[in-house]
Amino acid sequence: MNGTLRLYPLIAIAALGVFAGAAALVRRGRKSPEQRELERRSRINAIGRITDGTVIDVSEMPTDEAGEMQLLIYQYDVAGVSYEASQDVTSLRHRVDLHSCRTGLMTSIKYDPSNPGNSIVIAENWTGLRN
């Protein structure tokens, strides 16, 4: 019985090591919000259906960092349902001139057919903005 008591600290240390390793793997596997947004845009660009929409507004919002977040706010209809959405285009500002995006500008919208509320106006290699 005395030998069994000596194993408990070793078992506890081993369990702690396994837990710490698992926690490190989970943290390393987490994606940043920017990575998740890039994957979302890529997925919708690949599988999305296209419909007509209208730019409602362009907004610049201050962020916690030193910069500003640029939002493109738009409206579109799918199967008789009207959707209003916004897309953060800050990382895509090299692809779009927000000052030329005026209220009422017609645009193409790509949306997820299984979730029409999930949509984009612009991606890395596609844009629905019309001149």
CATH (residue range 33-127): 2.40.50.140
Rounded to the nearest integer, the mean pLDDT of the chain is 85
Residue 3 clears pLDDT 80, i.e. is over it: no
pLDDT, tens digit, 9 for 90 and up, residues 23-74:
776 667 788 888 999 999 999 999 999 999 999 998 888 777 767 888 899 9
Q: What pLDDT does 5 receive? A: 64
Interior/surface letters 18-49, b for 16+ CB within 10 angstroms, e for the rest = eeeeeeeeeeeeeeeeeeebeeebeebeeebe
Q: What pLDDT does 52 receive? A: 96
- Going from N- to C-terminal start, the domains of the chain cover 1-30, 33-127
Mean pLDDT of 118-128: 93
122 is written with which tokens? 């612009």
Q: Assign residue 80 a region: left if phi > 0, alpha if psi is -120 to 50, beta otherwise? A: left
pLDDT, tens digit, 9 for 90 and up, residues 80-91:
999 999 998 888
